[in-house]
Structure 1
Amino acid sequence: MPRSRAPLACAGLALLAACGGPPAPGAVAPAATDSARFEQLVARYVAKPIVADDPERDATDAALERLDAAAERQAAARAGGWLRELAAIDTARLAESQRIDWLLLRAALRRTVADTVFQPARRVPGRYLTLGGLYWRVMGERPPTAADWRAALADLQRVPRALALGRRQLEAPPPLWSRLAAGSARSYVAFLRDELPPRVDDVAPDSLKPRLRQAAGEAAAALAGYAAWLDDSLPPGADASWAIGAPDYDRLLRDAHFLPFTAETMIEEGRRIHEATKRALDSLAAQVAPGRTWRQLVDEMQGRHPEPGAITDAYRRASRGILAALIRDDLIRIPPCEELDFVPTPPQLRETYAWGGYGGVVPRDGALVGRFFVTDVVPGMTPAQVREKLRAQNHGWITVIALHEGYPGHHLQTVYQKRGTRPLRQELANTYAQEGWALYAEHWMARAGVLADADARLAQLQMRLWRTARVIIDPSLHTGRMTHAEAVQFFVDEVGLERSAAEAEVNRFTTWPTQAPSYIVGWLELERLKADLRRALGAAFSEKGYVERVLEAGALPPALLRRAVLAAYGLDDSRVSR
């Protein structure tokens, strides 16, 4: 497998040129059919995955086939065909909402083509750890149903075959990714041997208990063997072979996120906002405790934290308090039939999610139920690791993360998205819209007085500094301007993160290029749009109306989100001064 990223980038761009250019003159269908043809294409995309499944095939077989390297080639071929169909539609004959969706679908299909060139089946050891859904099924707050346990059994039975496929396909992955996957595999072994059996004994259907115990034992043995193989036998790739390089980084910013930045200009923007945020922290410290630095205040704040095992409950209480304030003060409409479930962070995410994260929604019993992952102290941690985890999970940060991941952040945004009227926007979500919204929510809640506590206000600004550091670090990592160790040290020195949290952050950046800057960049775009609308509408503008229109538009890339929100007000850029 090639280790240099430049040939991959060229190959990806060549495929794009071959299958997704602008409509050729004379190639369009009659005007009356363009809209209908586009809606039919969207319906097909939403109804079927890029990698086609046979509905008669066993679900485990289908899941394993999606991990196969051949599926990547199939995905690229199918996406290329759909791009040709899309290019034959004249966007001038579509409604504005359809034109936005046309651009959204083209970006998604182009990324499918380009990303498959990077061969994740051969380079990503963690993709063969297929038990992430098990936590949601059996370890959440809701009692598992019989159907949940049957699905859990299928999850467990799939493990040995998935890991065997990984052994056949993996070739010289980045050493860091192998270490992360091996650590996650061992965490799963501990879970399957120590935590799952009592859960099975207590609440699983009697008819399934023997098979669940057997499958868990076989899965644990396979995972232990996979971890040892990653450590001892799989030849490693180059140390920093996770870096995608400037050409691919710039392509993702332009083609996937519709942004005017390059890696270089992204770093420049990050440094500007980073310095401004440090000045804001200095100002807050002068107001709260004259004569003391914000770093001293952060050190004290980190000492105020829940006890081990109580972190999840602290998040739950904070989230419920924020939701109550949203309802009491009528800040935003909360759709009916939704819930938020707090779940232990799955093992494969603990090395990259130091605090926790949002795992999306699934329909259960007529409600949209969100998954809020929380990373608590876990067995096997040393006393020093426990201390670092508790200091990271302090009450100030918990309050802000609770609103970022839950209400009115990711969970509420996802509920609006899934209840939207545009089918394509129910399926596709852009990280700059998602994280930009969640960071906007933090600042909105601070303005609304929901973050009145001194620790919460300090945490909110420190977390903004954390996000500005991401804008600097992520493009620097992927373009060779910064090493992994330098990135970790930057977080420790500039933001005041605990080292273990900083390492988890940087580990995640290696696996998800261009995601880390999305918080600050997406937030700034939402603030600019709000300022433009406030000028255009004057006294008719309300923040409640604005945030509801933003969420109703869907999690679109910033440029498309701007078009959709302006259209919801009956405006466009020609009628809004910037």
Structure 2
Amino acid sequence: MMKPTVAGALCAAGILMLGQAGAVPAAPAAPAALAAPRAGAPEARFAAIHRAEWRWRVQQGLVRGESERGRVDPDFPRVDAASQRTRLQHWQKVMGQLDGIDAARLSAPEQVNYQVYRAQIAAFVEALRFREYEQPVNADSAFWTDAAYDARQPFAAIEDYRAYLTRLGRMPRYFAEQVGNMRAGLARGFTPPRVTLQGRDAALASVAGAAPEDTVFYLPFKSMPAAIPAAEQAALRAQAIAAIREQVQPAHAATLAFMRGQYIPGARDTLAAERLPDGRAYYQSKIAEFTTTGMTAEEIHRTGLAEMAKIRAEMLQAIAATGFAGDLPAFLHFLRTDPQFYARSAEELLMRAAWIAKKFDARADQYFGYLPRRRFAIRPVPPDQAPYYTAGRGGPGVYLVNTYDLPSRALYSLPALTLHESAPGHAFQMPVALEQKGVPPFRRAYISAYGEGWALYAERLGTEMGIYETPYEVFGMLSYQAWRAARLVVDTGIHAKGWSRAQAQAYLRENTALSEHEVTTEVDRYISWPGQALSYYLGQMAIMEARARAEQALGAQFDIRAFHDTVLQLGSVPLPVLAGRIERFIAEGGKSPYPKEG
């Protein structure tokens, strides 16, 4: 799963801008499908709209400009209610402008751009219309954990350190605006359920109560580039200690007091998104955002039940292949309790993950024609986040493995997790998207239905690639498939059908091999983040259905590398856009989107 940003002023959690933290390497060749738009009137009008809006986003501090990429942002965006209302009005105006364009007159590449852009702006409008900024925290993330992101990145130049110090000094203003929004949400009952907030204040406490040098915000100063003179390093360290003591820690302490004294005690007791203000419409808006479809909660719930039945049959076959004599509940108990399936140290878990990632590298060119230039590191999840974090998370340049509570981190699930989060999943797909030439900057977005669907597809692809070496690892993959199909049932069950927390936990416990710790943290994530869990399986189904159509239509002409390159070259797009692109792929005879060299 890609890291979310609930604090970001872009608001729509299903659409996250990529590439803001690092420079984007150039692709070796521009895909033919991404040629410059024709100079006709519709293309010109559309280009004028999205270019002006992007410049406005940069001015608002919501994204970084091209010249600022890879550098530390010296400030936080304004997130107060007045700024959010201004953004809503601006994006509503942009939607009106888009509605005035006859999209059918655009070229094929520009029609893709239009569909992606319009869905993006629509998600921003809906998130602001429902005032999601009044809930900048959920069971998975919070604005204060997002604020620590830069502290964990290496700084290359003295200018980065100076910008970072400026940023630390502006943290009190940013935190105060976020808390102000939370107060407004609390007043109208727009909060996460109280049960999902227990313990989520730990990261605040770890900063507020420590020596400045022991906080996460001091990390960049523990190892500084040798090119910075020693005297300058000492001065920067002194300034950092002062900024953390005088600005950062008071902001965290004030937020911690608010969380413990008012927010957590006053948070709602109900679980369902449909119990929020205008809740039914709100939940449907999240379904649309995270699935990029018009499906209803009832349709998704039925789909989940049907898919779970199919996966259950595969799981029984995998159990038989292990030679285990008992039924599914007995097998799940065996997997959860036998020491052979668990690492004895954090280092062992990390090394096993690295070994699996290298197994993919040996087979990559058989399944992908275009390989991203950017590599990724494998790191443990930071300890202040690990207790409530997912098993792993990946993105450009990194695959995070959660080494907290090792008895909850099954080795038989590690191959599926690694394929999802590293390569060919998130740490592979996102760099491919970022390396494309000739795309407007709004296409550097991450759309959950596409991105999570691709990563889940990557888990299934591991069976073809020979990544799973034992029936237990195959079962681990199937358990992960069941876990994502179960999300269709659980998310809609909680938010539209009145399911209890215990009911949702029982469904995951009985249908997957997830540990009890994971069952608890996952259900709390679904409760506090409506709709996000629906992205995965529906996205995978769309990719698998598109592949099946292409295989049937093209027959012997079907080339798996050309198909994968076509899907990935698009970058994140709504699922209907992906379906349309594969129809064009079929019509063009299944050719690769990249021109042949030489």
Category of TM-score, reference length = shorter chain: 0.7 to 0.9
Kept in 1, the 8 Å contact 2:420–2:455? The answer is yes
Question: Paired residue for 1:71, among 71, 75, 83?
Answer: 83
Q: How do residues 41-52 of structure 1 correspond to structure 2 at under 5 angstroms?
A: 41-49=49-57, 52=60
Q: What secondary structure does 1:240 align onto? A: coil
Show the counterpart of 1:3.
none
C-alpha deviations, 1:175-204, integer Å up to 9, x for none?
346545423322445786636457734447
C-alpha deviations, 1:29-58, integer Å up to 9, x for none?
xx93111211232333444428734999xx
CA offset at residue 319 of structure 1?
A: 5.0
Letter in 2 for 1:41: I
Q: TM-score, normalised by structure 2?
A: 0.78
Kept in 2, the 8 Å contact 1:130–1:159? The answer is no
Are 1:123 and 2:142 matched, yes or no?
Answer: no
Show the counterpart of 2:308.
274
CA offset at residue 138 of structure 1?
A: 4.9
Question: Paired residue for 2:445, among 424, 428, 432?
Answer: 428
Letter in 2 for 1:208: L
1:63 and 1:422, CA in 2 relative to 1: closer, same or farther beyond 3 A? same
- Gapped regions of structure 2 (runs ≥ 5): 1-38, 66-71, 226-232, 590-598
Question: Paired residue for 2:422, among 406, 410, 418?
Answer: 406
**Residues 110-119 or 489-498, more deviating:** 489-498
Show the counterpart of 2:201.
182
C-alpha deviations, 1:109-146, integer Å up to 9, x for none?
122111112223333356873453645x4546x67654
**Residues 306-315 or 220-229, more deviating:** 306-315
1:177 and 1:286, CA in 2 relative to 1: closer, same or farther beyond 3 A? closer
CA offset at residue 518 of structure 1?
A: 1.7
1:346 and 1:82 mapped to 2: Cα distance? Answer: 39
1:303 and 1:199, CA in 2 relative to 1: closer, same or farther beyond 3 A? farther
2:58 and 2:283 mapped to 1: Cα distance? Answer: 24
Kept in 1, the 8 Å contact 2:550–2:558? The answer is yes
CA offset at residue 311 of structure 1?
A: 6.0
1:296 and 1:498, CA in 2 relative to 1: closer, same or farther beyond 3 A? closer
Question: Paired residue for 2:258, among 229, 236, 250?
Answer: 229
1:87 and 1:347, CA in 2 relative to 1: closer, same or farther beyond 3 A? farther
C-alpha deviations, 1:13-34, integer Å up to 9, x for none?
xxxxxxxxxxxxxxxxxx9311
Letter in 1 for 2:494: L
Show the counterpart of 1:212.
240
Question: Paired residue for 1:132, among 139, 143, 146?
Answer: 146
1:166 and 1:133 mapped to 2: Cα distance? Answer: 12
Q: Percent identity?
A: 21
Show the counterpart of 1:34.
42
CA offset at residue 545 of structure 1?
A: 1.4
Kept in 2, the 8 Å contact 1:417–1:552? The answer is yes
CA offset at residue 321 of structure 1?
A: 1.4
1:84 and 1:410, CA in 2 relative to 1: closer, same or farther beyond 3 A? same
1:221 and 1:270 mapped to 2: Cα distance? Answer: 46
Aligned residues: 521
- Structure with more relative contact order (C-alpha pairs < 8 Å, separation 6 or more): 2
**Residues 421-430 or 439-448, more deviating:** 421-430
1:77 and 1:50 mapped to 2: Cα distance? Answer: 17
C-alpha deviations, 1:450-503, integer Å up to 9, x for none?
222343222111111111111111112222421233222322233242232122
Are 1:194 and 2:223 matched, yes or no?
Answer: no
Question: Paired residue for 2:584, among 563, 567, 576?
Answer: 567
**Residues 466-475 or 167-176, more deviating:** 167-176
Q: TM-score, normalised by structure 1?
A: 0.80
1:305 and 1:203, CA in 2 relative to 1: closer, same or farther beyond 3 A? farther
1:507 and 1:456 mapped to 2: Cα distance? Answer: 26
Are 1:158 and 2:162 matched, yes or no?
Answer: no
Show the counterpart of 2:181.
169
Kept in 2, the 8 Å contact 1:343–1:374? The answer is yes
1:183 and 1:255, CA in 2 relative to 1: closer, same or farther beyond 3 A? closer
Show the counterpart of 2:121.
109
Runs of 4+ aligned residues of structure 1 deviating over 6 Å after TM superposition are: none
1:227 and 1:242 mapped to 2: Cα distance? Answer: 26
1:139 and 1:453, CA in 2 relative to 1: closer, same or farther beyond 3 A? farther
Letter in 1 for 2:470: D
2:147 and 2:157 mapped to 1: Cα distance? Answer: 14
Show the counterpart of 1:239.
269
Are 1:555 and 2:555 matched, yes or no?
Answer: no
Are 1:305 and 2:342 matched, yes or no?
Answer: yes
Kept in 2, the 8 Å contact 1:395–1:455? The answer is no
1:523 and 1:214, CA in 2 relative to 1: closer, same or farther beyond 3 A? same
1:162 and 1:53, CA in 2 relative to 1: closer, same or farther beyond 3 A? closer
Show the counterpart of 1:14.
none
Show the counterpart of 1:285.
319
1:303 and 1:203, CA in 2 relative to 1: closer, same or farther beyond 3 A? farther
Q: What secondary structure does 2:376 align onto? A: strand
Kept in 2, the 8 Å contact 1:351–1:507? The answer is no
Kept in 2, the 8 Å contact 1:128–1:163? The answer is no
1:257 and 1:309, CA in 2 relative to 1: closer, same or farther beyond 3 A? closer
**Residues 419-428 or 452-461, more deviating:** 419-428
Kept in 1, the 8 Å contact 2:271–2:495? The answer is no
CA offset at residue 213 of structure 1?
A: 2.0
1:274 and 1:51 mapped to 2: Cα distance? Answer: 47
Letter in 1 for 2:48: Q
1:116 and 1:311 mapped to 2: Cα distance? Answer: 45
C-alpha deviations, 1:287-334, integer Å up to 9, x for none?
12141344245225665333343266336513541342234x532135
Letter in 1 for 2:238: P
Kept in 1, the 8 Å contact 2:221–2:237? The answer is yes
2:213 and 2:489 mapped to 1: Cα distance? Answer: 41
1:252 and 1:168 mapped to 2: Cα distance? Answer: 24
1:51 and 1:508 mapped to 2: Cα distance? Answer: 33
Show the counterpart of 2:96.
84
